[in-house]
Structure 1
């Protein structure tokens, strides 16, 4: 048991699949790291407009997207946006995380069940850590193609790369809190943000999405706190 917990703790901090993928993206597929939409946090997302455009479901990363790192509860300020998302998409929402629900570190699904009980959103069980793998488990859960789904996350080289490769509409948020994030993760994040901003400034464009040619239509001012 102690070995499983240690492996999980180390593995969640060092994503070897992500490192290999990042090198490939940097060398030849830089556009895959560019999100369709950039927002400070999910309160800026217009869920009603996205649903009107034909999207059928929303997939959230967990840590620093809707919860603080390693937390099982929603980050307070974004709770209202989650409620609005539920009012629009109903049960067609899920978490796809490299911690809760990943069989390698959550072999019995206990972390996923705890998270589901706390936030009221289904956690998709899966075998391969983002950005590697395919959207097969997600598509099976929602019963539709990935092109009809929205991927929301805080990491360009993980959430966005995975989402773009699979055909999702990708939305990148800023991290909710860096206080609990390991030092190495913070440094990698800084590099990711620097590269993405540099590529945008150089005129590199994200891949297009058929359902929403102008992604800015789904961004709004957040409601007052």
Structure 2
């Protein structure tokens, strides 16, 4: 029989373990919000551990080593923000390797590869410059200010029609005109398209029958050296529509008619300039002595927002000056332009 003292000494007490000890996960270090990490793979070997008093210095070094230099992929993203993909499909074909979603280590070129790197950089810069140039026509802005201040008559076309179907090509030929120069976007094709606008095909074929090979496209996209530096767009357009695309270095409305006259073998006063923009196509044509024909845009849906707003301003100014009785510049071969307008038979 156990005594009370023996029972007390053999009693066992159980203390429950707190749940926080059983369920808690291993402690995590807080991530430094100022740390920039662009890749899961380290570009350089990690820094060696440093004593606690130099923790701040270590963080700064870690930040510098996690930063990576700009790569070709970065340039591609910048290009995407500055231009739409359908403006330069050839740009995608120059990407050296496909993106697979995995981080890549930075590989610096050797001295022997410097020449190839320079060529690639020049191609990228030309594409980026072209993309910005398509949206910002500096020459056009300067010319527009000059026209508004000095000679507004340059904006007034000799002939205004809805589209090419309303032009009597035969009558123009009988009056002594020897060739036709077309703008591309929204005159022959939809913006950024290679195909002729379907309703215009009969009129284009009629123009070819009347003027033969003496027709050409003079555009601020295809054929412009700044935008089409390798002639790929000009060649693609020529293959699609069967019309010669003139190569030139200066954007309309700036520049002279020297390249155009050289192609046709006649003076610009014997040529017809057809386009949809008063402050580019018409100003260029009137300034250089062409007979100018203004058409309405074929489609505004594909145009960038800024282009649509500029177009609205151009047309508002043109209508205002026409209401005030402003007349176009005189042309040596034309006194009555109404004879060049017809009602299309297919309407």
2:324 to 195, 199, 202: 202
User: Secondary structure in 2 aligned to 1:12?
Assistant: helix
Instruction: Give 1:164's aligned residue.
Output: 286
Give the alignment of 1:102-141 within 5 angstroms.
102-141=224-263
- Structure with higher RCO (Cα < 8 A, 6+ apart): 1
Task: Tell me, yes or no, if structure 1 residue 142 matches structure 2 residue 142.
Answer: no
Instruction: Give 2:168's aligned residue.
Output: 46
Aligned pair count reads 225
User: Secondary structure in 2 aligned to 1:19?
Assistant: helix
Shift of 1:8: 1.9
TM-score (norm 1): 0.98
Task: Tell me, yes or no, if structure 1 residue 60 matches structure 2 residue 182.
Answer: yes
Give deviations 1:28-75, integer Å, cap 9, x for gaps.
Answer: 110000000000001000000000000000000000000000111101
2:312 to 185, 190, 194: 190
List alignment gaps of at least 5 residues for structure 1. Answer: none
Shift of 1:210: 1.4
If you compute each CA radius of gyration, which structure gives the higher value, 1 or 2? 2
Shift of 1:9: 2.3
Task: Tell me, yes or no, if structure 1 residue 178 matches structure 2 residue 300.
Answer: yes
List alignment gaps of at least 5 residues for structure 2. Answer: 1-122
In 1: Cα distance, 2:330 partner to 2:159 partner? 11
Instruction: Give 1:74's aligned residue.
Output: 196
2:218 to 92, 96, 108: 96
In 2: Cα distance, 1:70 partner to 1:38 partner? 24
In 2: Cα distance, 1:64 partner to 1:178 partner? 8
1:152 to 248, 267, 274: 274
Give structure 1 regions of 4+ aligned residues with deviation exceeding 3 angstroms. Answer: none
- Give the superposed CA RMSD: 0.9
In 1: Cα distance, 2:292 partner to 2:272 partner? 6
TM-score (norm 2): 0.64
Higher alpha-carbon deviation: 119-128 or 100-109: 100-109
In 2: Cα distance, 1:215 partner to 1:10 partner? 38
In 2: Cα distance, 1:222 partner to 1:3 partner? 46
In 2: Cα distance, 1:213 partner to 1:182 partner? 38
Instruction: Give 2:120's aligned residue.
Output: none
2:155 to 33, 43, 48: 33
User: Secondary structure in 1 aligned to 2:230?
Assistant: coil
